[in-house]
Amino acid sequence: VGLAAQQCGIDGSLIFLDEIKYIEKYRSSRNDIFNDRVDNKGGIFLCNPRIISRSPEIEMKIWTEECLVLPPSFTATVLRDNSIKVEYETLDGETRTTKLSGELARALQHEMDHDRGILIVDHVSLEDLDSLLMMEIERDGHDDRMALAYSRYLQVSLDKLVSCGHYTFIEPAYAVE
């Protein structure tokens, strides 16, 4: 459903979401990030995505997730916000805001975890890991990563930073071939 730049060895905040399974369900949504696609293929890139609001904590959902960077047999039960409002830049440098819910919100939160060095294994206590090898690999720094994984941080939107005079926007130069 998604891929973060870090999973490809790229040090940048860039996420790809694949909408193929969900395009029909979400196309009618007023703020849908896929509405401006004309070919109904592929997905969308979100540059520097920032969560600027979240659904109430009581609405969080439980998901069973896998991750491309972990063994295929590893799954983790994680708690994610049911809906999020995200601000991001397109590959053309245009700032946009959208609200995602359900599977798309889950997928984006999963990929954004990679931006912060978090994997789904960091959503699970060491005692709940089935593999002794995984427990040994994860032991150093796991508690800190777990605390970060469960933080419900928000980031300030660019509009608020610019209007307060605290942010100078440098237009991104994206080379898309």
Q: Torsion-angle region of residue 47: left (phi > 0), alpha (psi -120 to 50) or beta? A: beta
The β-bridge relationship of strands 83-89 and 76-80 is unpaired
DSSP symbol at 22 = T
Q: Which of 65, 89, 111, 138 is catalytic?
A: 111
- Contacts with 61 (C-beta within 8 Å, 6 or more apart), sequence order: 79, 80, 81, 82, 106
Residue type, 40: N
Is the CB of residue 84 less than 8 Å from the CB of residue 15? no
For the question of residue 87 being annotated catalytic, the response is: no
Q: Among 142, 131, 146, which residue's Cα sits nearest to residue 70?
A: 131
Catalytic residues: 111
